[in-house]
Amino acid sequence: MSPLVLFRRLALAEATTWALLLVGMVLKYVTRTTELGVQVFGMLHGVVFIAYCIGTLFVAVDQRWSARVTLLGLASAVPPFMTVWFDHRAERRHLLDRGWRLRAGGEVPRSVPEKVQARLLARPVAAAVVALLAVAALTTVALLVGPPAGSPS
């Protein structure tokens, strides 16, 4: 899977879970019919949000995004549907390549993040396990910390 495909899938998944969460919020706060949508889609969106942020950082290292572009990519996960906008913007500006720069036989990694990424790219199964564990760990931390103080229940 290329950086372009990985990023696009994560961006679409994040936007889709935003839409589902918004439907759940309408059901809870507007129609007052059920809280189930917010409970289920809120959790799903949180998990996908974390996966999108990890994926953004992974792609940013390989594609050598500037700090500004990386922060914009991360911030685009906050407003609904902005990840899709950022994905299209990044592709138009040639910030998403069809190949991994740090893959085996590619460029030599220079920094610590690049060396870690090159190792993960050489072992896709290990990379998937590391990504799943990172998402699970960060989701657990988010659940333990709980919602921001004063947020509606």
| pTM: predicted TM-score of the whole model, two decimal places | 0.92
Cα–Cα distance for residue pair 105/65, rounded to 1 Å: 21
User: Does residue 147 surpass a pLDDT of 80?
Assistant: no
Residue bearing tokens 């994905």: 87
Non-local CB neighbours of 51 within 8 Å, separated by 6+ positions: 10, 13, 14, 131, 135
Alpha carbons 51 and 134: distance in angstroms, whole number = 8
CA angle 108, 93, 50 (to 5 degrees): 70
Residue type, 146: G
- Taking alpha carbons only, the member of 90, 58, 55 closest to residue 72 is 90
Q: What is the pLDDT of residues 85-118, one digit of tens each?
A: 999 999 999 999 889 999 988 999 999 999 999 9
| DSSP 8-state symbol, 99 | S
Asked whether the predicted pLDDT for residue 153 surpasses 60, the reply is no
Give the domain ranges of the chain. Answer: 3-144
The reported pLDDT for the residue numbered 149 is: 66
The pLDDT value recorded for residue 23 is: 95
